[in-house]
Amino acid sequence: EEKQKKKEKKKGKTKVKGVEAPEAEASEAGRPKTKKKVVKKEKQVFSGKDLYDEGRMPLHGRKQKKAKRKKVSSPVPPVKKKLKIANAITVGNLAKQMGRKVSEVISTMMDLGMTATQNQYIDAEDAMIVATELGYEVEVARDEIKEDILNVQEYNPKDMGPRPPVVTVMGHVDHGKTSILDAIRKTNVTQSEEGGITQHIGAYQVTYNGRKITFIDTPGHEAFTAMRARGAMITDFVVLVVAADDGVMDQTKEAINHAKNASIPILVAINKIDKPNANPQRVKEQLSDLGLVPEEWGGDTLFVEVSAKKRIGLEDLLEAILLQAEMLDLKAALKGKARGTVLEARVDKGRGPVCTVLVQNGVLKRGDAFVVGMQWGKIRAMMDFTGSKIKDAGPATPVEILGISDVPAAGDQLIVVPSEKKAREVIDYLKERKRAEALGEEKAKMTLDSLYGKVEEGEIATLNLIVKADVHGSVEAIVGALSGIETRERLKVNVIHSAVGGITENDVLLASTSNAIIVGFNVRPEAKVRDSAKRYGVEIKLYTVIYDLVDDIKLALKGMLEPEYKEVSLGTAEVREVFRVPKVGVVAGCMVTDGKIERGALARLVRDSKVAYEGKIASLRRFKDDVSEVASGYECGVGLENFNDIKVGDLIEAYKREEKEVEL
């Protein structure tokens, strides 16, 4: 039995090791069976990678392949798609136009070395680079809006016809421009004007001998330089008013320069000829020196002598205006979509934004959609210069219109467009173009931090101001007048904000954070705004006359300047004896040779033409008495503060320092 067991055991070992060393005892029939088992064993020792390569796929491997297939199927255009880009565009809008995710576009931009957020604007050039990188063929879009609407419109020659002249009245303040217009219109406007100055541009139309004349009355005060210059740009010729008694003044010369720079003819009206000291001849001589030679002297300038007060020569003036208009052969489009220029704009509390427009071509109608500057609107109501509602207005007609999205700037061009939708498109285009221009220019933006930094850098004293006024022209005039104040180098006026409208709580907050004064012209703050100003310690100054405002600002500037001092000599004393007095120190026995010596005055001791001491006269005695001053020709004892090195022959000069009057 033991032998049988060993034999079976030995036989089992042979089967297991059959692959490595086949035994002779293994039968021929048993070999295939052993090989079959061996193949199984060999498969079991193979790695999982080898088996997967033969076709089996684990679950996580299938997920990877699926993910790869999803990535491949992202919307990359098989062929290059065309894309139109015109102006600056936000990254978000660019992604939308391309049908891409914003994150993908931003990632591409980062690869190209650009950084931007979803709502940030990039210029057309950068947008084209990004789009090209993402497989798009970029085409520069035609500026249809610019070409079709904003360009100068060509009117049909058949629609052209004669139009009334547009006359701008210019001249020095108080020389009688408004009085002449008042006399012509037979109304009284002058008395209602603050300080006798026309505060806003007024446009009026009169009819003489069946023909219309449009007058634009520009304010005469020097602060309205910009408004007057703008008036000269929209006018056919200028009526220059010069007072017969005052003659040519600075603003007279300024008005002449504006007209000459704009190549506009000038007609001279010499006013106030009824005054006893009137001298029209002298006025003609003065104007001849400035290039305005009267026709009777061989020149080409029409001169008319008038008196608005006595109503003398007014008809002669109107005839001269019509004669000048005939010589110019003025024409405009009497049909078609209107174009014009804003003369004035303001916010009316009951009606909202209101602007005065001079129609220059075409016919402006109630209900017209329009763009003006960076604003748009639809004409809800239109009034003529008398305040009467009208349905339409032709060339050279001044009108007041309602229905604007916001207050435009004086001088902006008004363009009628087909619809409100088109008006919004035009404004969107203009805003994008403005952003594109801003991106193309490196503009130094003034922040409060940089402003404070500049003040701290050098020794610059800055008066910060916020300017609010009732109309745009006044804002422009005030800012211009303030910037024209000549000051010493280290002092300046900084208008940190200016706008049309009432003083608001936001203005108070801005003034508080920037240490500014709020200046209001023809506007008043509400009670809650006044309370806020009091709470934040903000000063609000209100005015109705511009030169009062400017004078006050000048006074404020004077107060900000560090005082400057001048030295005023009091007298001179010669040292003839030197005494040492117990508990007092050295006292100089002196003879006052010039002026007087005062106790407590500033003093310098001069020895051999050199200053040996500068300080103060501590004590002054005459004999044994303390005195306040000693006049020339008298002897006295002088003690100098903290100085004992006094010698015979020294000179003591007494003086004081007086604050100099501030000059801007």
630 and 501 in a common domain: no
Both tokens of 117, joined, read: 């957020």
Summarize pLDDT for 21-67 with one digit per residue, the tens. Answer: 444 444 444 454 444 444 444 444 444 444 444 444 444 555 454 44
479 and 374 in a common domain: no
Got the DSSP string for 327-374?
Answer: HHT-EEESSSB-EEEEEEEEEETTTEEEEEEEEEESBEETT-EEEETT
**Quick one: pLDDT at residue 443?**
35
Q: Among all chains, which residue has been given the structure tokens 């009206």?
A: 269
Lowest model confidence (mean pLDDT) among 73-87, 415-429, 448-462? 448-462
Q: Among all chains, which residue has been given the structure tokens 């008004």?
A: 414
Assigned domain for 67 exists: no
579 and 552 in a common domain: no
505 and 428 in a common domain: no
Assigned domain for 130 exists: yes
Q: How far apart are CA 628 and CA 625, in angstroms?
A: 10
Q: How far out from the chain centre does Cα 510 lie?
A: 16
595 and 554 in a common domain: no
Q: Which one of 305, 329, 353 terminates a domain?
A: 329
Phi, psi torsion values for 361, nearest 5 degrees = -145, 150
Closest CA to 269 of 224, 298, 237: 237
Max mean pLDDT among 473-482, 578-587, 631-640 falls in: 631-640
Q: How far apart are CA 235 and CA 213, in angstroms?
A: 12
576 and 547 in a common domain: no
Domain holding 214: CATH number?
A: 3.40.50.300
Do the beta carbons of residue 617 and residue 587 sit within 8 Å?
Answer: no
Domain of 34 in residue numbering reads as 2-53
- Angle of helix 102-111 relative to helix 124-133, nearest 10 degrees? 100
Q: CB 566: neighbour CB atoms within 10 A? A: 10
pLDDT at position 454 over 80 = no
Assigned domain for 170 exists: yes
Summarize pLDDT for 468-518 with one digit per residue, the tens. Answer: 998 888 888 888 888 777 555 456 788 888 888 889 887 887 787 778 889
* pLDDT mean across residues, the chain: 77
465 and 591 in a common domain: no
Assigned domain for 180 exists: yes
Assigned domain for 149 exists: no
- In sign, the C-alpha dihedral spanning 511, 512, 517, 519 is positive
359 and 324 in a common domain: no
Assigned domain for 109 exists: yes
462 and 405 in a common domain: no
Assigned domain for 103 exists: yes
**Quick one: pLDDT at residue 537?**
83
309 and 190 in a common domain: yes
306 and 169 in a common domain: yes
What secondary structure, in 3-state letters, does 216-264 show?
EECCCCHHHHHHHHHHHHCCCEEEEEEECCCCCCHHHHHHHHHHHHCCC
Summarize pLDDT for 102-115 with one digit per residue, the tens. Answer: 888 888 888 887 77
Domain holding 653: CATH number?
A: 2.40.30.10
C-alpha atoms less than 13 angstroms from C-alpha of 171 in its C-beta half-sphere: 30
321 and 201 in a common domain: yes
What is the count of structural domains for the chain?
6
